[in-house]
C-alpha cells in the first residue's frame, strides 16, 4: 500500500469495521434516494444550522489538528488547507445553504423520444447510491462532499486522513446529528477515519458497497487510488496551472491576474504555478509583474531570460516546470511564441486550468481551442476554477479526466442516468 495514506488510531470495537459502515451507508442510500427535494433541502439547512451552532467545538478540535500538524512539520500549504476558524466555518455553512437552494438534479429528464411502435422512452437523472471520498488535510471537503451527496440523493463514506482526524470527527458527528434532527437516518454519512489505512483500503475494495470513489489530495494519493481501486474512480488531478502572457497582454491585467492567481491562496489546486511570457512582451510586462509578486513574498524560479530581467529570481530547474508548488513559489519562463507556450503546456500541464492574457482575438480563440485542460480561460484568474465560483454551491473536486465528468464537479456530476420505458402491451417482433 502506498505511503500516501497515514495510519490513524485503531477502531474502538472489533465488531465494527469499515465494511459494516459501508453496508450501513448502502442501506441508508435507499432512504436518501426516496427523499423529496424539499426534504433534502431541509436536511441541509439543519446541517448548516448545527454547524454554525457548533463552531466553537469545531474550532477547538481543529486547534488540536493544527498543533499536531505544526509539530510534525506538514508544511504551510497543508496547514492552510487544514485550518478552520469561525469565518471559514460560517463560509462552509453558507455553502451548505447554497447547495440546499440549488435545483435538485434527481428525476430531471435529460433526453427521450417515442419509438415507432409507441413505446415512450425517457432518460432521467438518478443518484449513484454511495459516494466515497479519500482526501487529505481538508476538513472543508468533509462538509462539501456530504452536502453535495445528500442533495443529489446519495449517502457518503468519508476517509479524511490523519491530519484532520479531530476536526473531521466533530464535523461528521455534527452532520449526523443534524440529519437525525431532520428525521433522516444519520447513517447516510459515514467515516472510516478511525480505521486508518485499513479504512482507505476498504473504500478502494468496496465494490458493490461504494458506487463511485473520488480522491482529493496529493499526486501520490490520487495515483494510489486510481491504480489500486476496484471501485469506479473519478480522478481529480494535481494543479500544475499555467498563465500565458501574450505580446498584447495589458501590463495591469497581467500584474493583477498573476498576483491574484498565485497569492490569494497559494495552497489550492487552482493557484497558478507557471507563467509563460511571450518574448515580445517580456521586457514590458515581466518587471512590473515580478515586482508585484516579490512585494507579496513570492519566490520566482526563472529561466535565464527571466533572471536577466529579475535579479531576485532564483534559477529554475527542469523539475520546477512540473511542480505543483502549493506555496509562494512561482516558475516563470520566456518562450519565443504562442506555439512554444502551447508545447510547454502540453508537456507539463496536469490538465487542470490554463489562462491566457491577451487582447488578440485570434490568439485567444486558438488558445481556447487547442489547450486540452478541464478549464481554459482568457483574461481571468485561474482562481475562478471552483465549484462555488461556477455557481455549484460547493464542489466534490475538479476532475481532470474526460469520462463522466470534467472540471468542477457539482450535483449533476454525482448522478447517473437510467432509461424509463412506458408501453401499452408492445412486444418485439
Question: Which residues face 332 on adjacent strands?
Answer: 275, 302
pLDDT: which is higher, 5 or 335? 335
pLDDT at 288: 98
Contact status, residue 156 vs residue 130, Cβ threshold 8 Å:
yes
Residue-wise pLDDT tens digits, 105-150: 999 999 999 999 999 999 999 999 999 999 988 899 999 999 999 9
Residue-wise pLDDT tens digits, 281-293: 999 999 999 999 9
User: Considering only CA atoms, which of 408, 405, 414, 399 is closest in space to residue 40?
Assistant: 414
Q: Which architecture characterizes domain 18-102+127-236 according to CATH?
A: 3-Layer(aba) Sandwich (3.40)
pLDDT: which is higher, 380 or 405? 380
> Is the model's pLDDT at 94 over the cut of 80?
yes
Provide the residue ranges of all domains of the chain, joining segments of one domain with +: 18-102+127-236, 241-384
> Is the model's pLDDT at 260 over the cut of 50?
yes
CATH number, span 241-384: 3.40.309.10
Contact status, residue 121 vs residue 114, Cβ threshold 8 Å:
yes
Cell of 27: 442501506
pLDDT at 224: 93
Taking residue 402's Cβ as centre, other Cβ atoms within 10 Å add up to: 11
18-102+127-236 against 241-384: fold identical: no
Residue-wise pLDDT tens digits, 191-207: 999 999 999 999 999 99
Cβ burial 258-279 (10 Å sphere, 16+ → b, else e)? bbbbbbeebbbbbbbbbbbbbe
Q: How far apart are CA 417 and CA 429, in angstroms?
A: 27
User: Considering only CA atoms, which of 133, 202, 187 is closest in space to residue 161?
Assistant: 133
Cell of 172: 461528521
Contact status, residue 352 vs residue 406, Cβ threshold 8 Å:
no
pLDDT at 262: 98
Whole-model pTM? Answer: 0.83
Geometric angle at alpha carbon 197, from 196 and 198, rounded to 5°: 90
Amino acid at each position: 500500500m502506498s505511503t500516501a495514506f497515514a495510519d490513524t488510531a485503531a477502531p474502538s470495537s472489533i465488531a465494527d469495521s469499515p465494511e459494516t459502515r459501508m453496508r450501513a451507508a448502502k442501506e441508508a442510500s435507499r432512504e436518501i434516494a426516496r427523499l423529496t427535494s424539499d426534504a433534502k433541502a431541509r436536511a441541509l439547512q439543519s446541517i448548516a444550522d448545527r454547524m454554525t451552532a457548533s463552531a466553537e467545538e469545531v474550532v477547538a478540535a481543529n486547534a488540536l489538528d493544527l498543533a499536531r500538524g505544526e509539530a510534525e512539520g506538514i508544511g504551510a500549504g497543508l496547514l492552510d488547507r487544514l485550518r478552520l476558524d469561525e469565518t471559514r466555518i460560517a463560509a462552509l455553512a453558507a455553502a451548505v445553504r447554497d447547495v440546499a437552494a440549488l435545483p435538485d438534479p434527481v428525476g430531471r429528464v435529460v433526453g427521450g423520444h417515442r419509438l415507432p411502435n409507441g413505446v415512450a422512452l425517457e432518460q432521467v437523472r438518478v443518484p449513484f447510491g454511495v459516494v466515497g471520498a479519500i482526501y487529505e488535510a481538508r476538513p472543508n471537503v468533509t462538509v462539501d462532499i456530504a452536502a453535495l451527496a445528500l442533495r443529489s440523493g446519495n449517502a457518503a463514506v468519508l476517509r479524511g486522513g490523519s491530519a484532520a482526524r479531530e476536526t473531521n470527527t466533530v464535523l461528521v458527528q455534527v452532520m449526523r446529528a443534524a440529519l437525525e434532527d431532520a428525521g433522516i437516518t444519520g447513517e447516510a454519512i459515514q467515516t472510516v477515519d478511525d480505521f486508518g489505512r485499513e479504512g482507505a483500503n476498504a473504500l478502494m475494495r468496496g465494490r458493490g458497497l461504494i458506487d463511485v470513489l473520488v480522491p482529493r489530495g496529493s499526486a501520490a494519493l490520487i495515483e494510489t487510488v486510481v491504480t489500486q481501486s476496484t471501485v469506479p474512480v473519478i480522478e481529480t488531478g494535481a494543479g500544475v496551472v499555467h498563465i500565458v502572457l501574450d505580446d498584447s497582454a495589458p501590463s495591469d491585467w497581467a500584474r493583477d491576474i498573476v498576483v491574484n492567481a498565485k497569492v490569494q491562496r497559494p495552497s489550492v489546486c487552482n493557484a497558478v504555478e507557471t507563467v509563460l511570457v511571450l518574448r515580445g512582451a517580456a521586457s514590458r510586462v515581466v518587471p512590473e509583474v515580478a515586482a508585484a509578486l516579490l512585494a507579496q513574498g513570492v519566490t520566482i524560479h526563472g529561466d535565464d531570460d527571466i533572471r536577466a530581467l529579475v535579479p531576485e529570481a532564483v534559477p529554475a530547474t527542469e523539475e520546477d516546470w512540473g511542480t505543483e508548488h502549493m506555496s509562494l513559489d512561482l516558475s516563470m519562463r520566456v518562450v519565443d511564441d504562442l506555439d512554444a507556450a502551447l508545447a510547454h503546456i502540453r508537456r507539463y500541464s496536469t490538465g487542470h486550468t490554463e489562462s491566457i492574457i491577451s487582447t488578440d482575438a485570434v490568439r485567444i480563440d486558438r488558445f481556447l481551442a487547442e489547450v486540452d485542460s478541464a478549464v481554459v480561460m482568457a483574461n481571468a484568474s485561474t482562481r475562478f476554477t471552483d465549484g462555488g465560483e461556477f455557481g455549484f454551491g460547493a464542489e466534490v473536486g475538479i476532475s481532470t479526466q474526460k469520462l463522466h465528468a470534467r472540471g468542477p464537479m457539482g450535483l449533476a456530476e454525482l448522478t447517473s442516468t437510467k432509461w424509463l420505458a412506458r408501453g401499452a402491451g408492445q412486444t418485439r417482433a
